[in-house]
Amino acid sequence: MNNNLKLSSIAIIVAFTCQSTQSFAAEETATKGKSDNIEKIIVTGTFSGKSVAKEEASFSISSFSEEDIKKLAPKSTADLFKAIPGVWAESSGGVSGANVFVRGFPGGGDAPFLTVQLQGAPIFPPPTLSFLENSTLFRLDETVEFMEALRGGPNPVLSNGQPGLTTNFLLKEGTDDTEGLVKYSTSDYGLQRIDGVISGAIADDLYFMIGGYIKSSPGVRDAGFNAEKGNQFTVNITKKLDNGKINLYTRHTNDHGVWYLPSPLNVDTVDNEYTQIGTNNRHATIQYGANTTSETIDFGQGRGWNGSVSGGSIDLSLTNNWDLVNRFIYTKGDANTFGLVPNGDATTLSEVADNGDSAFGAVTGNQYSGSTIVQQIGRWVVKKQIEAFTNDFALTKTFKGATFTAGFYHSTFEAKDWWALGNQAYHVVESGGEMLTGIDCNDNQDSCGWNYDINSIGDGSTNALYIAASFEITEALTIDGGIRNENHQIEYTVDEGLDGVITKAVSYDETEIAWTIGINWMFDQHQGVFARVSDGSKMPFFDDFRDNFGAYQNGEDLIKKVTQYEFGYKLSRDNYELYATTFFNEVKGDTFVSQPGAPAEILTNEAYGIEIDFNYFNDNGFSINLNSTIQETEITQSPTNQGNEAQRQPGWQIRVTPSYDIEFDNGMYATLYGNISAVGDRYANNENTVTLSGYEKIDLGIIFSLSDEVQMQLSVSNLTDENALTEGDPRDSLSSNGRYILPRTVDFNVSYQF
């Protein structure tokens, strides 16, 4: 990468008041129509839970307020993650099923180094299982106050020990005043959505917040039917005490949408609006198991989450400078996947038809000529039931110039999987293209290649004891550190073939140590530097054993070991702020499987780079946020790919977000805003043989307030309708398939606040 390109990529993202993984965040207040020129106070990553000014923190953290999220107008939870420095998020798969990478950590998909928290507790302790990454389990709506994102830093010691990225969502709480909001949203792709939230007091010091949404649409890529449907309902109860507070919440979600998959790039009629599914193919009969059982499936269900997340916390200040925090969370539900997955390149019908000339539509009966473009599509079914309980207890003692924390983390988790993968058949290449008859593969499933059917049950538990301390050496110099002792147990069985025979059985019990040490030196009240080193790990979960069963049998522990070094500079002034963090990390023992059932590749990965956040604002209503990441990655140990770059992640990315507030004489105001992002080239595979070109994307919007109660928002995403790719074909990197970013969309909403 040339120096000019590196310099042009330097940027920022605004960070606002953050919520802790160890304590709830301090409250913030912003004036409507004004720049968010407020003090940034954070508590995330401070082992004591005591709030500090952001510029005094010895780690990298970003936060996004409700207003920030509104301007970013994310189509999904993972779409919001694009605004986090050091993160590469591929949200082009739809409302669920994103791929999220952080700081060059290796991965072939999903989000193996991401933990999603609600109210400071992990929603599901395994960060990724096949066909399930954590952002699938969380939906944004008007009940969310803000989100924080902690990269590296003390992550290996806190919460579930995630060494990569921890994102934490804080729900709104009630106050003495009853207030609420009703919002209607629509779009040029047929979205119909109603959001609502209300909060207030039940009694003295007892508060409530209730909210949710209901929605439907044919999808950003029109499926011809209501392919995206969902609803969510959340209740949050808070009791304030003289020495703290108690919080209880529950969140019920039933939301799904079509799984957008790679499209055939060598077909002229295919663009970023193409989707495999439609009315003529959403219902299909699959075959599975040793007895060749048949079942008809509605693939319009796509990917989603039908379940609940409930929990709470106790946060108390005790006598003699003792503080107690206990958080708990229980998650249960179904995270199923139904998808039409491309298998190989598109071709002409004459190449595969039994008569070498034509075939007939299985639904319409239409005759298709030999020049018709067709592609083999797999009808994949994954039924996944999950359940988890987590409790995190911490006790802190504060002295003059020092704090000591001891905590105990406990989680149990379960996943029951039933898969029927394969069921390939040739379909016409057009949106919703139907299956054909008169092709041996379609009419005789036994002749159509690969299938992988399993029935598995996995139970696991994690118990961790952690201790931490922070010392104020001088008024300008502080040191903190922590250590975590974690025991991880897995019981797992797999029936491959659905014939009742257990082919893989696992009983695993290992203990690992993680630690972190940081130092912070403030030159003055608003300027300083920090340095941190940490050593953590990603413990193996169910899929790691299934994909690496031979290695497990040979005595390998399958633990991914992660070492990280960070050095940061921070500067905060009246109308601008700058945060720059350099990082270096090494991940040993990572595994990658291109397709379920295929052999795993084991590798060691190194990455280094810089994240630069910059924010400028003035009293005239203008602000600009810049967020940039520059990084280099290298596979340092691999049987075949040593010396190559890590797949899927760009060497540089930049995001510029200008905003301008306009106040009118009659009291109305408007905010004009935009998001301009650019990314560099990436490799689609670890072999570095397929290059995904860089691209630019422009989003624009306006928020117009008719009064203090009524507000309208119009947003345009991908203004130039860029036909860029987020990935190639992860199951066959040499095929001419790729997944486009989402096409241009126009969204509109109007809300009434009371």
Percent of the chain with pLDDT over 70: 93
pLDDT at position 698: 98
Task: Read off the pLDDT of each residue in 153-164 and give the average, rounded to a whole number.
Answer: 94
pLDDT in tens, 188-203: 999 999 999 999 999 9
State mean pLDDT over 460-481.
95
Tell me, what's the pLDDT at 17? 28
If you average pLDDT over residues 503-513, what whole number do you get? 97
Would the pLDDT of 607 be above 50? yes
* pLDDT > 90 in the chain, percent: 84
| Average predicted confidence (pLDDT) for the chain | 91
Domain boundaries, the chain: 3-172+306-339+369-411+450-753
Cα 368 to Cα 424, 427, 430, distances in angstroms: 19, 11, 13
- What's the mean pLDDT in 665-683? 94
Residue-level pLDDT at 45: 61
Query: β-strands 576-592, 601-617: how paired?
Result: antiparallel
Average pLDDT over residues 532-553: 95
The secondary structure of residue 435, as a DSSP letter, is B
Average pLDDT over every residue of 502-526:
95
Reduce the DSSP state of residue 632 to 3 states and report it: strand
pLDDT surpasses 70 at 609? yes
* Residue 35 pLDDT > 50: no
pLDDT at 105 over 80: yes
pLDDT higher at 28 or 80: 80
Whether the pLDDT of residue 15 is over 80: the answer is no
Residue type, 111: A
**pLDDT score at 444:** 84
> Looking at residue 51, what is its pLDDT?
62
Angle ∠(356,361,362) on CA atoms, nearest 5: 115
Quote the tokens at residue 25: 């965040």
pLDDT band at 18; cut points 50, 70, 90:
very low
Nearest-angstrom CA–CA distance, 36 and 624: 11
Helix, strand, coil % over all residues of the chain, rounded to 5: 5, 55, 40
- Which residues, other chains included, contact 375 with Cβ-Cβ below 8 Å and sequence gap of 6+? 264, 342, 343, 344, 345, 346, 347, 426, 427, 429
Mean per-residue pLDDT for 381-409?
A: 95
Distances (CA, A) of 706 to 75, 103, 292, 662: 25, 42, 62, 12
The pLDDT value recorded for residue 41 is 64
The CATH fold of domain 3-172+306-339+369-411+450-753? Maltoporin; Chain A (2.40.170)
Q: 420 pLDDT exceeds 80? A: yes
CB 490 within 8 A of CB 457: no
Position 650 pLDDT exceeds 90? yes
Res 418: pLDDT = 98
What local confidence, expressed as pLDDT, does residue 24 receive? 34
CA 60 – CA 580 distance, rounded (Å): 9
pLDDT at 34 over 50: no
Q: Which residues of 406-435 are buried (b: 16+ CB within 10 A; e: fewer)?
A: ebebebbbbbebbbbbbbbbbbbbbbbbbb
Higher pLDDT, 17 or 25: 25
Token pair recorded at residue 549: 């069963």
pLDDT of residue 459: 98
pLDDT tens track for 119-154: 999 999 999 999 999 999 999 999 999 898 999 999
pLDDT value at residue 358: 95
The tens digit of pLDDT for each residue in 250-299 reads 999 999 999 999 999 999 999 999 999 999 999 999 999 988 899 999 99
pLDDT in tens, 694-704: 999 999 999 99
Q: Average of pLDDT values for 25-34?
A: 36
Helix (H) or strand (E) holding 266: none
Range 562-581 average pLDDT: 95
Q: Which of 141, 121, 143 is nearest to 209 (CA)?
A: 143
Task: Indicate the pLDDT class of residue 448, thresholds 50, 70 and 90.
Answer: confident
Please determine, for residue 489, whether its predicted confidence score (pLDDT) is greater than 90. Answer: yes
Write down the pLDDT at residue 246. Answer: 97
**Residue 82 in contact with residue 677, Cβ under 8 Å?**
yes
**What sign has the CA pseudo-torsion 520, 655, 218, 131?**
negative
What digits encode the pLDDT tens for the residues 617-649?
A: 998 999 999 999 999 999 999 989 999 999 999
Q: What's the CA gap between 704 and 750, in Å, rounded? A: 9
What is the structure's pLDDT at 9? 34
